[in-house]
Amino acid sequence: MLGTLTIQRLFQKMQEVDASDLHIKTGSPPVIRIAAALHPVDAPQLNSDDTRELLTPLIPDHLKPLLEELGGVDFSHMEGPESRFRCSIFRAGGGLHAAIRRVNPVIPSFKDLHLPPIYEHVADTTHEGLVVVCGVTGCGKSTTLAAMIDHINETRHCNIITIEDPVEYLLRPNKSFISQREIGIDVKDFPLALRAAVRQDPDVIMIGEMRDRETMMAGLMAAETGHTVFVTLHTADTMQAFARILEFFPSSEHTFIRSSMANGLRAVMAQRLLPCVRDDVDRVPATEVLLNSPTVQDKIREGDDDDLPAVIHSSEGEGMHDFTSSLTRLVEEEWVDLKTAVRYAPNREALVSKVRGIDVAADKLIQRVKR
């Protein structure tokens, strides 16, 4: 028996302790995530009847048949005007389980997210082409994308159309006109929404996630025909983004897709979140940014993807940078400790060497000052 435990009380608890996620599973009490750590709620273990009683009222009526057919549904839910949640409810072990993300009602700024200046520069200067924000689950891709779109909303007169599953951040029109379309509620699927979007006079299109060949092709074509297209992609770094995009297409089409990417791509921006050592900040992003310079265009078109890390490394003055440089900066500026940075580094030896180089340079400077 649930007693006084309700989903609304769990939502309230999340807000009280600033939890990011709520997990509901049979065989355990509800669990909330605070600053990347999971904490069980002081409640009895839930059985399958309990989870169904908690979660069924959340599921929109039009999605209940899909839950039975597909075994899981995703949707957004609001508890009052300022409390918004992204819900994923699915069947497991004979009961209903859920992963529910609490969405900040205020869209953070680049400064709030501790993103490097190149993110704002890309949002300011990209007036056509494709911008890809990538990373693994839970790395803040959607929040970064929302910050970029909202920056455009605050600074430019544009017609912005977003296609999301589900809508997470509510964008309030400022200088721009905004239409936010949710898959399953406003439109059937991403390909259909994208085909319609290009006929709706957009300046900026935001696609919540690239999931299939049709969506990817439509996004590339929109970018090539003068629209600004922002998307998220589920890959760990910028190099994997190219492989992931090509995976959507048969090998016979790869030459054409590479040509489209070379012409339409503007930036690939990857991120991963690290625990922060500062008391007032929970996590900070390490980032990797590839900009589509003429050299990068040639490498993409010719299939020389293995050369791109060297291009990034040699172009850091232009805003490009790799994860090693980003992690080095975070250690140098005392956002994260070296042990944490090494744990997240794609190349641990390169990171340690670069950090030691900074330490040596600092020691030499101190010695000169003393003399």
Whole-model pTM: value is 0.84
Cα–Cα distance between 24 and 102 in angstroms, integer?
A: 14
What does the pLDDT look like over 67-105, one tens digit per residue? 999 999 988 888 877 788 989 999 998 899 999 999 877
> Given a cut of 70, is residue 155 above it in pLDDT?
yes
Do both 82 and 118 map to the same domain?
Answer: no
Span 194-223, average pLDDT: 92
Report residue 257 as tokens.
């897709």
| Domain hosting residue 267, numbered range | 110-351
H or E segment and range at residue 274 = strand 265-275
Residue 119: inside a domain: yes
Residue 36: inside a domain: yes
Domain end call among 103, 122, 142: 103
What does the pLDDT look like over 161-208, one tens digit per residue? 999 988 888 899 999 999 999 888 899 889 899 999 999 999 999 999
Do both 53 and 134 map to the same domain?
Answer: no
Q: Report helix, strand or coil for 65.
A: helix
Cα–Cα distance between 302 and 298 in angstroms, integer?
A: 6
Number of folded domains in the chain? 2
Chain mean pLDDT for the chain: 91
Do both 279 and 260 map to the same domain?
Answer: yes
Span 203-224, average pLDDT: 92
Give me the CATH number covering residue 90. Answer: 3.30.450.90
Q: Name the pLDDT band for 369 (thresholds 50, 70, 90).
A: very low
- Which pLDDT score is estimated for 271? 97
What does the pLDDT look like over 231-259, one tens digit per residue? 999 999 999 999 999 999 999 999 999 99
Cα–Cα distance between 39 and 19 in angstroms, integer?
A: 10
Do both 87 and 120 map to the same domain?
Answer: no
Do both 187 and 309 map to the same domain?
Answer: yes
Residue 199: inside a domain: yes
Do both 77 and 192 map to the same domain?
Answer: no
Give me the CATH number covering residue 163. Answer: 3.40.50.300
What does the pLDDT look like over 267-326, one tens digit per residue? 999 999 999 999 889 899 999 999 999 999 999 999 999 999 999 988 888 899 999 999
Residue 356: inside a domain: no
Domain end call among 70, 103, 136: 103
- Which pLDDT score is estimated for 366? 38
Do both 175 and 303 map to the same domain?
Answer: yes
Residue 366: inside a domain: no
